[in-house]
Structure 1
Amino acid sequence: MPRPDPLREKLAPSPSPSSTSSQYSQDLPYNEKEIEYQDATGNPPDDEFVFEEYAYLSNHKPYRKPIWRQKKVLIGCGVGTVIFLAIFIPLLIVVIIPKVAQLMMNNASMSVVQLNMTQPGEMAMAVSVLATVGGIPSLLSASLEFTQEVDISWENELIGSMTLGEVKVSKGKGDIVQTTQFQIKNTTAFGDFAKVMLSADGFTWTLNSKATIKALGQTIKNLSINKNLVMHGLNNFANVQILGFDLPADAPDGNGALVTISASIPNPSPIGMTLGTITFDMSYKTAYLGRVFAKDVVLVGGQPMLLNLEGQLLKQTDPVHVAELSELISNYLANIPTLASGKGVSVLPDGVNAVSWLTNAIVATTLTVPLKPVQPMEVVKNIKINDMDLGFSVDNPWQPTVNSNSVSADFKIPFNISINITELANATFKLAYQGNDFSQISTAVWNTTASDMSNNKVVFTVPVSPMNIYNQLAFTDFMTSVTQQTSATVNVTGSVQGVAVTSLGTVHLMVPLQATLPLQGINFSNAKPTVTDILVTNGTTEAIIITANIGLQNPSIFSVNMGYIVLQVDSTVNGTYGYVGSVTVTDLILKPGLNTIPASIRLSPKDPTFRDAFISKFMAEGDIQSSIYGDAQTSQVASMIPTLETLTMNTTIPGMTPRPRLITNGNGNPSLGNILGPRAIPFTVTIANPLATVLWIDTMTASAYWEGNYFGGVDHAHIPFAINTGAAVVSPQLALQFPQGYEFALFLVTQFLPKNLGLLTGATVNLTMTSSILVYIGNAPGVGYGTTVAYTQNDIPSFLKIDYSFAGMTKRFLADDTDARGEVPSIQPISTLVQTVEAVQAVGVATATMQPAQKRRFLSSLPDHLLIPSLEVMVGKATPSIESGTEYVAWLEKALRALYPEHQARLS
């Protein structure tokens, strides 16, 4: 355990009030909790108290008083400050402030906003100055007074001086706004300066003067001012903007034309000047054009100058000068800026008297005048292309030929001078569609006979010329628009060369033309071509070849020679849509108005059912709704393919006109036996060939009708016979099979014969036939085009003459009277007893007890010469004469009813 330390215990602090501790803590570099240097009473030790012998017992620094609290230091600082101020204040006022003021003046900036010179004289002029002074400390407010004239030097030459008054400076800047006199000190140097001021981009003035500044209650005198002022020059009146150019009339002296030019000239320089009346000589290249002048001209610093020139342009006779004048006027008419020049001649500030230095400056000035209309000019307007022929070829698809008989326009030179256009030539037209140029046309010729120059109307013709297509896509878009739409807009630009006799001379002009032309389109998409003069000319195993005329209306101005084209055809027949074939035009030339285009139609439907329906309707019934369209193979001309493959037109293909009558007549010679017996009568028809090629008939199936009643049918296969062009051929003998049964026999004797009594002696009756005929068009079967024609024809005149032998009745009776077992009822062989007419009386006795079928069997066994007498016995009435007509038919009806009593009973 450590030994107790009496000294540490003695120095250990005893509790004391906090106020006592805080009293000393403010002066110590320790806080109130640090107590090592306090004695046992709580008071700090004296300065003389030594802790050396106990220093080894403490970890704290000994206390030292701060140096600034030491008395000797405070006394020394006070004495030094008094001595410093005594020396510095006079130095500041006498030496430092003037030096600072001069430095401030040297660093200050000055710029001239405007310096306008008025009333210029040989040695002096009035000037109004607007300038700014800057670069002065913003906290300083002062006044600057020029105590002597401001000398102005240029290129180290004193050129003039002027007086300036007081300038107030606030917040670091000040303005000089004064009117004063400018004294010219060196007229030669000032004249050189004036030339540079008007011709150069810029110049520098050096200003020298003395000034006094009053600031902070002090006046600082005799300060030097030396400033370089960099200012813009007028650069020969560059960037002239023409506000107007006109030739209002011929010159009174007959030598040229009056001229007026309005211009705005920017003035980038702060220097302005009263110029008064200023005169220029105008020229273009080597041609002297004439003299112009402007009055009351005032140049204001930093502002545009308006210059209204007027004067006279002289008539040119030298060929070179005429060419230059022609170029100048042509460029002006074409809205091309052309730089004419105006050489200064004189300047009269007061309008009367000249000032030498100013005159020298103006004479040294060349004014560049960019002649250009304020608004683009329309010298040629209302352009109208009245017709245009386009010709395409396979060899040069993108260089079609073009020609026009009439391109008209209104032509007006916008000057009120004498002008007589004697020649126009070499018009060039550039065509553009939707902003894209695609071709240029030239070699136009002025049509003097069609033009009316007194009314400013010109007409050009374009002879056959190549049309180079250098933008294929734009050309395709244009042609597609022209062919498929009602209208298309083409932009026309170009120029025309002219010769005009004017008061300025005979000039050769290049006159621009520009117009947007709406053109009537062909509008194929809504076109309704007609098909007429149809003629079937040939047939192969693949197709029927037809010639026809296609009528197509072209409402546009374009004549287009498309050459060889092939279009496809689809049609709708009986609600079925299908491919029909193609239309070929060997040399398509489409002109404005109605076009009749010879075409070859190749009918080659792919579906057999559709084929037969189409050709049947084509040959018989007529109109077929169809669509004509193009494809990638439509044209052989590459430039036309993109246009033609989009082509689609709706049309109606009519049937053969006039509607052909294939069956011209019929002929039959039936006997009563055929009519009342098997009812299959021999029958022929005469068939006409309406085609311009051979027609082969192979198979014929037909049904005949009389007044809507089925009359019989024909069904003959493979009876091929040929009919030449324009011929009518009688068919091989056919069999017209009447319907079977008692009802049809009764119909014949009760309805048909009573209405056609002439048939008893031979007459014609009109029949309707519906037929299905397998034909071969163009050649024999296997060589021509085979198709089945469904054909209905009304009112076919058919000649019939009845043979009254009753031959053939036997087969009919046998067919009708077979029983269910297919056997014929037996009869008594009494027919062998009836061998003469005298024995016919016995027939009544012999047949009285027979059944109807046996009776008909008996009659069929009789010789033909006994049949009618036997019928007369059965009817109970002699046969009337054929000439009796109605009476004879009535007898036939009774005979029929007597032969078939059981059938009659069933009907009743």
Structure 2
Amino acid sequence: MSTGSDEHLTEKAAAHKASSSSEDLPYSAKETEYNDDKDDGFDEYDEEYGHAAEKRVRFYKTKRFWIRCLVILVILLAILIPLIIFVILPKLVQSIVNHSEMSMNQLNMTDASETGMKVSLTGGISNAGIFPATIEFPEPIIVSWEGHKLGSMKMSAIKASGGSATIVDSTTFTIIDKEAFGTFAKEMLSIEHFTWTLTSTVQVHAVGRVIKDINLTKELKMLGMNGFGKVTIDSFTMPGDAPNNGGAYVRLVTSMNNPSPIGMVLGTMVLDMFYQGTFLGQVTAQNAVLVGGSPSPLVLEGILVRQTNQTDLDNISVLMSNFLGGKVTMTSAKGVSVKPDGVTAVSWLSNGLLALTLNVPLVSPVPLNVIRDISIKDMGMVFNPANPFVPTASSNTVTAGFKLPFNITVGMTNVSNTMSIHYKGKTLANIDTAVWAEARSDIAAGIITFGLPPSPLVVQEDAKEEFGQFVADLTVNQEQSFAVTGLASAISTTPIGTVKLTGIPFNSNVTMTGLNFNAIDAAVTNVIVSGGNEDHIIMNQTVALPNASNLTVSGGSVLLTVYDKVTDQYLGELSIPNLNVVPGANPTPTNFLFHPKNTTLRDQFLSEYLTGAVFPLKVVGTKDSTATVELKQAMSQVTISSSAPGLMPPPNLVVSGTAVSTIGTLVGNRQTTTTVNMINPLATDLYISGQVTQVTWKGNFFGTIDAKYEQVVPAKGTASTPSLILQHPSGLEFGLFLTTQFVTSYPLIALGGAMVPFDLDVLMSVRVGGPNGYPATIHYKQTQEILTKMSLF
């Protein structure tokens, strides 16, 4: 006890000394020392009582505490370790094995025989515990199905880590129950899924120990082959004709979709093909292999037999038409034999395959585009105002390139089509009624030629405006492209028999030469002024509408507007009673209703017409130019250049005349009485109401006729004018001219008369067509010899 008290007093004295000595330190040092003391595990210094408080030690810092804990730990380990190793661990491993899950990704069977086969497999194990482990199979695994032991196989050790393991192994599967395995093989080919039960005894290496006699019982759920329900055709070809008229060789490349992880080598497989009860032929696959869990390519080759029964021919027609048209046709295949090694059949495999009927959807994997590059050599469209938007379309020659996916002898004797016209992304019109036409086929060149009989082209209700523009573009453009789609049918001779191919789609761009009306020069010939009334002059003529294309357009009556091309002034209307433009020159009878608004232009046109001049014209259409609704847009875009000739050779309107004067009239009122004989070159009456004529002789002014009178010159006839007064100029100058030049040049004037050439400049007021005809003023010039007489009295 004294020892303890002395130690206690010593500690207090040391604390007091430390406290005293700290009073001599600066404030910052004291603060640092104070903070250090707070962390030493002792109580603070009690300043109130002037002595250090008693120091107390924590219990977990004592040696006694830790010694006791160590003793307890040793005892627990001595008890638990044997318990874990010998009792708990085996049960834990068995539990992990029981709760683990096994899956099979791939199981391939090769070298099949009556007693077994080789298998290679990949799979995995999940929920295999947290400890790394190695699973060994000292005994074969027994594979059972629906209570029947199918067979057994040995497996190599599997290493698990992180709760999972990967299975990769190659082994031998030995059949235990041949009958049960045959039944299973048959079912596996057709069912959607099945369950194998795997049983064995395994041992596990884990945590440094080997745990033996662990029971393995696993249900392995796997997909069946499900009848290869998704068999696809990668290609279907006929490489050539079979010998002896026996049909056609056939080659199919298929993909047999195998959803099951089980794959197998089939070797040589023979199948019979059927469609709708018709036996198509027999095909054989060499080196056939089914790959588990993926499509398996299968090449089938054989012969499609020749058909003679009409029902079978009809079925073949549907089959081939659907294939060429991209439609699915469900055929079937029945197993005939299977030999894994190509020589010997395996009963359980053969029985399974022979019981299976494969459904094979025959369809091309890509669009075949059998008919392509259509060329319409000629095309006719006849428009009927009584049935708008249903023109009649026809063609004498349509050629189309075609490429069959078959290398067999084919001849096409008749063709029919339904067709749609597409323009600028819109369907315009349809030919819905197919009409059969004779066809010629050149198989080597891949060309078929046929005609399109007259067929109604029905314009769609929502495409009437676009169809009008389509016709307009064909009318005014040099060439025009559009698309045609439709369905073609053909009666064809083949090695399989005469078949009717129907519903074969085609889609082709077509470029046609257009009428190009706006670039033509519509020459006018045979112009005849045939009549006139108060409103207009009627001219009949022939207008050439040259058509370099093979397009024919017929559209009834058309009324176009005519302008003078130089001045762009209105002249009248050009009436085409029946527009029918065919390939070639197209001389077209027309009527020109001449009634310009500008009277000066009117008179100039008629006057120059009589002199044989050529008139450049511009002929323009409008939407009102035709009653045919499909042609309204086309007519509104037509601007045709033309040229109209005058009368050739140019006629002289005055064919003869007589001028009679006396010395008295020449020196008095200076008048000469004149009568002229007129000719009317027109095919209609010409009514004359007066004229103003300037008369000159060798450039010297001789006088003026200014007369009002009424006279009708009959069509293509002549007439003499009434007596007209030629008023000579006054003044001494004209008298000197008469005596010194004119009379001396023609001394016979006074002795009975002389023929004197006068230059006539005539302004004649007329009505073309008679007294109630179209009014105009004709201005013409001519030189005419006139019998001139002069007497004294």
Under TM normalisation by the shorter chain, which class is it?
Answer: 0.7 to 0.9
1:553 to 537, 546, 550: 546
Q: Does 1:663 align with 2:654?
A: yes
1:499 to partner: Cα distance: 3.9
- Contact 1:391–1:402 under 8 Å retained in 2: yes
1:415 to partner: Cα distance: 4.5
- Contact 2:193–2:222 under 8 Å retained in 1: yes
Residue 607 of structure 1 corresponds to: 598
1:414 to partner: Cα distance: 5.9
- Contact 1:533–1:657 under 8 Å retained in 2: no
- Contact 1:282–1:289 under 8 Å retained in 2: yes
Residue 788 of structure 2 corresponds to: 800
Change over 3 Å in CA distance of 1:72–1:411 after alignment to 2: closer
Instruction: Give matches, 1:333-348, under 5 Å.
Output: 333-348=324-339
Rounded to whole Å, the distance in 1 between the matches of 2:690 and 2:99 is 124
Instruction: Give matches, 1:174-253, under 5 Å.
Output: 174-252=165-243
2:310 to 281, 302, 319: 319
- Contact 1:682–1:734 under 8 Å retained in 2: yes
- Contact 1:426–1:442 under 8 Å retained in 2: no
Change over 3 Å in CA distance of 1:730–1:513 after alignment to 2: farther
Instruction: Give matches, 1:439-588, under 5 Å.
Output: 439-440=430-431, 442-447=433-438, 459-470=449-460, 471-510=463-502, 512=504, 514=506, 515-573=508-566, 576-588=567-579
- Letter aligned with residue 655 of structure 2: T
Residue 115 of structure 2 corresponds to: 123
1:507 to partner: Cα distance: 2.8
Residue 16 of structure 2 corresponds to: none
Rounded to whole Å, the distance in 2 between the matches of 1:762 and 1:222 is 161
- Contact 2:431–2:456 under 8 Å retained in 1: no
Give RMSD over aligned pairs.
3.4
- Letter aligned with residue 167 of structure 1: I
Which stretch shows the higher mean deviation, 597-606 or 734-743? Answer: 734-743
Secondary structure, counterpart of 1:719 in structure 2: strand
1:133 to partner: Cα distance: 3.8
Q: Does 1:145 align with 2:136?
A: yes
1:287 to partner: Cα distance: 0.7
Instruction: Give matches, 1:71-470, under 5 Å.
Output: 77-106=69-98, 108-135=100-127, 141-170=132-161, 173-252=164-243, 254-373=245-364, 376-377=367-368, 383-408=374-399, 415=406, 417=408, 423-424=413-414, 426-437=416-427, 438-440=429-431, 442-447=433-438, 459-470=449-460
- Letter aligned with residue 783 of structure 2: D
Instruction: Give matches, 1:738-749, under 5 Å.
Output: 738-749=728-739
1:119 to partner: Cα distance: 0.9
Residue 727 of structure 1 corresponds to: 717
Q: Does 1:645 align with 2:636?
A: yes
Q: Does 1:685 align with 2:676?
A: yes
Uncovered stretches (5+) of structure 2, i.e. residues with no partner = 1-18
- Contact 1:444–1:461 under 8 Å retained in 2: no
Change over 3 Å in CA distance of 1:772–1:316 after alignment to 2: same
Secondary structure, counterpart of 2:79 in structure 1: helix
Q: Does 1:766 align with 2:754?
A: no
Change over 3 Å in CA distance of 1:88–1:707 after alignment to 2: farther
Rounded to whole Å, the distance in 2 between the matches of 1:611 and 1:638 is 33
Count of matched residue positions in the alignment of Structure 1 and Structure 2: 764
Which stretch shows the higher mean deviation, 699-708 or 505-514? Answer: 505-514
Rounded to whole Å, the distance in 1 between the matches of 2:224 and 2:648 is 93
- Letter aligned with residue 237 of structure 1: F
1:296 to partner: Cα distance: 1.6
TM-score of the two chains, using structure 1 as the length reference: 0.76
- Letter aligned with residue 186 of structure 2: K
Residue 712 of structure 1 corresponds to: 703
Change over 3 Å in CA distance of 1:240–1:627 after alignment to 2: farther
2:39 to 12, 18, 26: 26
- Letter aligned with residue 786 of structure 1: P
- Contact 1:495–1:512 under 8 Å retained in 2: yes
Q: Provide, for residues 407-453 of structure 1, a one-character-per-residue CA deviation record: whole Å limited to 9, x for no partner.
A: 455678664556565x52544444333454322164544347x8889
- Letter aligned with residue 454 of structure 2: V
1:764 to partner: Cα distance: 2.6
Uncovered stretches (5+) of structure 1, i.e. residues with no partner = 1-12, 48-63, 808-908
Rounded to whole Å, the distance in 1 between the matches of 2:564 and 2:227 is 80
1:518 to partner: Cα distance: 2.2
Rounded to whole Å, the distance in 1 between the matches of 2:117 and 2:588 is 91
Rounded to whole Å, the distance in 2 between the matches of 1:733 and 1:527 is 51
1:561 to partner: Cα distance: 1.3
- Letter aligned with residue 209 of structure 2: Q
Which stretch shows the higher mean deviation, 482-491 or 186-195? Answer: 186-195
- Contact 1:107–1:135 under 8 Å retained in 2: yes
- Contact 2:652–2:782 under 8 Å retained in 1: no
Q: Provide, for residues 728-753 of structure 1, a one-character-per-residue CA deviation record: whole Å limited to 9, x for no partner.
A: 22222222223333333333444444
Secondary structure, counterpart of 1:332 in structure 2: helix
Residue 59 of structure 1 corresponds to: none
- Contact 1:663–1:687 under 8 Å retained in 2: yes
Change over 3 Å in CA distance of 1:774–1:74 after alignment to 2: same
- Structure number with greater CO (CA < 8 Å, separation at least 6) is 2
Rounded to whole Å, the distance in 2 between the matches of 1:743 and 1:589 is 67
Residue 43 of structure 1 corresponds to: 52
Rounded to whole Å, the distance in 2 between the matches of 1:498 and 1:67 is 108
> Which structure has the greater CA radius of gyration?
1
Q: Does 1:785 align with 2:774?
A: yes
Change over 3 Å in CA distance of 1:758–1:225 after alignment to 2: farther
Change over 3 Å in CA distance of 1:634–1:210 after alignment to 2: farther
Higher share of residues assigned strand = 2
- Contact 2:410–2:443 under 8 Å retained in 1: no
1:368 to partner: Cα distance: 3.0
- Letter aligned with residue 693 of structure 1: T
- Letter aligned with residue 731 of structure 2: G
Rounded to whole Å, the distance in 2 between the matches of 1:141 and 1:759 is 151
Secondary structure, counterpart of 1:692 in structure 2: coil
Secondary structure, counterpart of 2:521 in structure 1: coil
- Contact 2:189–2:352 under 8 Å retained in 1: yes
- Contact 2:564–2:618 under 8 Å retained in 1: yes
Which stretch shows the higher mean deviation, 191-200 or 562-571? Answer: 191-200
Change over 3 Å in CA distance of 1:766–1:171 after alignment to 2: farther
Rounded to whole Å, the distance in 2 between the matches of 1:796 and 1:440 is 69
1:126 to partner: Cα distance: 0.5
Secondary structure, counterpart of 1:594 in structure 2: coil
Change over 3 Å in CA distance of 1:772–1:199 after alignment to 2: farther
Secondary structure, counterpart of 1:291 in structure 2: strand
